[in-house]
Structure formats: C-alpha cells, structure tokens
C-alpha cells in the first residue's frame, strides 16, 4: 500500500503523458497535410492529362486517331500512374472531349476517406 501511494505522488512520467496527448493530434495533422498534398498533385496530373489528350485528339490525327489511342496518350502523359481505363473520350458539340474519374483513398491515422477526383477538357476541332 505504501508503494502504491508513492507511485501516485511520483511526477517523473508526466512528460511522457503530455507527449502522448500532444503527439496524436500532431501526427494526424502531419499525415493529413501530406495526404492533402498528394491529392492536389493527383488532381493536377489528372487535369493536365485530360487537357493534353483532348488537344491531341483534336489536332494530331496520326497518334490520336481512335479512342483507345487517346486514352493511352492521356495515361502516358500523366506523371501519376493512371491507367487508360480512368479516361473516357466523347465527341460533343464543343469538339473532342476527354474526361477522367479517379477514385482515391485518403489514409490518415484513425480514419480513411474515399474521394473521387474528376477532370474534363474539351478542345475544338
């Protein structure tokens, strides 16, 4: 009993408890910031790839003749690892349109969120 009372009055581990209480939100904020940066980078890569593919579809008839060629061009022009299944090609009134939809999982400590990134571009023919 005497030993238990002395442990209750001991303040040597207070700094460890303070660190544990402040490190958790700090780590969540740090990893959340990194995932937000990754999400913005992927969105930028998606925007660039649909713009480049729509321009290629409207101008370059040798390399971007078919829908499959346009999709593969869009996947190759992105700096990210998008597949050609991410992209769709249509021909509306505005010209050649390339759209993309990419599901992304945002993983942060104590939770995960799924977000679908989308982009589209239409280039006149």
Closest by Cα among 63, 56, 45 to 97: 56
Q: 83 by DSSP, 3-state: which?
A: coil
Domain boundaries of the chain, sorted by first residue? 2-123
pLDDT along the chain (125 residues), means of 10: 72 79 90 93 96 95 93 92 94 94 88 93 92
pLDDT attached to residue 46: 96
pTM: 0.80
pLDDT attached to residue 7: 64
DSSP 110: T
């Amino acid at each position: 009993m005497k030993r238990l009372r002395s442990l209750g009055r001991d303040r040597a581990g207070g700094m460890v408890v303070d660190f544990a209480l402040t490190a958790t939100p700090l780590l969540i904020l740090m990893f959340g910031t990194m995932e937000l940066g990754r999400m913005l980078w992927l969105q930028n890569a998606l925007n660039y790839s649909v713009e480049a593919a729509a321009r290629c579809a409207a101008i370059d008839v040798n390399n971007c003749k078919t829908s499959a060629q346009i999709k593969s061009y869009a996947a190759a022009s992105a700096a990210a690892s998008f597949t050609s299944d991410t992209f769709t090609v249509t021909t509306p009134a505005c010209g050649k349109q390339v759209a993309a939809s990419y599901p992304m999982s945002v993983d942060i400590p104590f939770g995960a969120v799924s977000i679908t990134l989308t982009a589209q571009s239409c280039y006149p023919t």
